[in-house]
């Protein structure tokens, strides 16, 4: 009997210990949950009270920055965005600004510089495109609530990133003679016949941005385009692809080289028409959601086609490789970065 009573007490003691261990675990879980909720509440409150739209590694992106980006997208169309349009495009504008901030941070961490002369040259080019002087261009921006420094910051981020990718990956790219021969042969096969000139606005799907979000943003941009917004300027301000630097222009492309979903749409489009947003499967890096516009179409005869030189072929292959490295680097960098969007 004594033995039985002893075992009973021991078992009872163990049960109490287990209960308190479980109780401590539950309390810890509740505390962690409350802290996380408090942090989320604090960040949301900061967004509301201090005009912060997003945070990238402790660096805030303001709602003023976001609204300036949306206004820039509307400048080329000669119209001011409505409050509804501003609200609609803020999420995508914020996404672009956060990417640019991350690119700038990474470049600076790796001691990459941006040539201010190149930055000013791009501003000069933007002014020339509008047929006005640089001074008039700066005043034009200010009259639309946009500071020239926000434009410089955007251009600087692009220069930073291009220089960083070149510095890190260019030496790793080896273009073989067999690659050049295959490119020239493929060019001859692909570019005889029907060609189209298209523009694109691209939103990549990644760990920080789901396909649903990309499609929602694409639909909002498409609505703005249907209401008269400039496709080229929307591409410059809202696209994630390298083609944004040229306003989304991809140049002349053989219809045979287009993604099947785009190819089928182009057959029924007239120059000036839009299509999308549509999802395009990954090309080894990430799925993307695309809106594209058909600019023009033509038929190229064999005797009219100019075969690319070895130097031109090597240059194109090198740029394609750098573009792939750029996508991978951005996707990987986002995974390890602290990203917080405070507006939806």
Give the pLDDT confidence score for residue 42 in this predicted structure: 42
pLDDT bucket at 339, cuts 50 / 70 / 90 = confident
Percentage of the chain exceeding pLDDT 90: 41
Does residue 38 register a pLDDT over 50?
Answer: no
CATH architecture classification, 187-308: Roll (3.10)
pLDDT for 285 equals 63
Lowest mean pLDDT among 38-42, 163-167, 168-172, 305-309: 38-42
The domain segmentation of the chain, as residue ranges, is 187-308
pLDDT tens-place string over residues 184-209 = 888 887 778 888 999 999 998 876 67
Higher pLDDT, 315 or 286: 315
Q: Which residues 6+ apart lie within 8 Å of 250 measured at CB?
A: 197, 198, 199, 200, 243
For residue 49, name the pLDDT band (cuts at 50, 70, 90). very low
Q: Which of 259, 244, 257 is nearest to 195 (CA)?
A: 257
Tens of pLDDT along 11-31? Answer: 444 454 444 454 444 444 433
| pLDDT over threshold 50, residue 47 | no
Q: Per-residue DSSP letters for 271-290?
A: TT-EEEEEEE--SSS--EEE
Question: What is the rounded average pLDDT of the residues 235-252?
Answer: 88
Give 296: exposed, middle or buried? Use CB within 10 Å, 0-12, 13-18, 19+: exposed
Q: How far is residue 255 from each of residues 249, 301, 332, measured CA to CA in Å?
A: 15, 14, 32
Band of residue 35 on the pLDDT scale cut at 50, 70, 90: very low
Q: What is the pLDDT of residues 128-166, one digit of tens each?
A: 888 899 999 999 899 888 899 999 999 999 999 999 999
Q: What is the mean pLDDT of the chain?
A: 82
Average pLDDT over residues 79-91: 83
Q: Which residue has the higher pLDDT, 33 or 80?
A: 80
Whole-model pTM? 0.76
Question: Once rounded to an integer, what is the mean pLDDT over residues 112-119?
Answer: 93
Phi, psi of 308 (to 5 degrees): -65, 145
């Amino acid at each position: 009997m004594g033995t039985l009573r002893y075992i009973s007490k021991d078992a009872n003691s163990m049960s109490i210990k287990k209960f308190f261990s479980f109780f401590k675990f539950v309390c810890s879980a509740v505390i962690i949950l409350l802290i996380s909720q408090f942090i989320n509440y604090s960040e949301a409150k900061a967004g509301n009270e201090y005009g912060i739209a997003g945070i990238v590694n402790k660096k805030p992106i303001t709602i003023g920055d976001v609204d300036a980006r949306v206004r820039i997208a509307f400048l080329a169309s000669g119209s001011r965005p409505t409050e509804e349009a501003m609200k609609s495009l803020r999420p995508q504008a914020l996404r672009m600004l956060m990417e640019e901030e991350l690119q700038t941070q990474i470049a600076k961490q790796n001691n990459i510089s941006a040539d201010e002369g190149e930055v000013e040259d791009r501003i000069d080019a933007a002014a020339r495109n509008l047929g006005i002087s640089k001074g008039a261009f700066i005043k034009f921006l200010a009259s639309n609530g946009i500071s020239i420094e926000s434009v410089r910051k955007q251009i600087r981020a692009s220069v930073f990133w291009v220089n960083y990718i070149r510095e890190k990956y260019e030496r790793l790219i080896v273009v073989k003679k067999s690659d050049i021969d295959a490119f020239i042969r493929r060019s001859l096969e692909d570019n005889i016949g029907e060609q189209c000139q298209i523009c694109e606005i691209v939103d990549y799907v990644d760990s920080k941005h789901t396909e649903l979000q990309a499609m929602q943003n694409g639909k909002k941009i498409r609505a703005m385009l249907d209401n008269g917004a400039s496709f080229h300027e929307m591409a410059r301000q809202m696209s994630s692809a390298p083609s944004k630097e040229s306003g989304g222009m991809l140049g002349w492309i053989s219809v045979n080289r287009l993604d099947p979903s785009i190819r089928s749409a182009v057959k029924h489009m007239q120059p000036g028409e839009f299509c999308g947003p549509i999802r395009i499967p990954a090309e080894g890096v990430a799925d993307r959601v695309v809106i594209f516009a058909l600019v023009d179409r033509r038929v190229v005869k064999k005797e009219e086609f100019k075969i690319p030189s070895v130097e031109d072929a090597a240059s194109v292959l090198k740029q394609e490789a750098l573009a792939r490295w750029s996508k991978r680097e951005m996707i990987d960098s986002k995974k390890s970065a602290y990203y917080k969007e405070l507006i939806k």
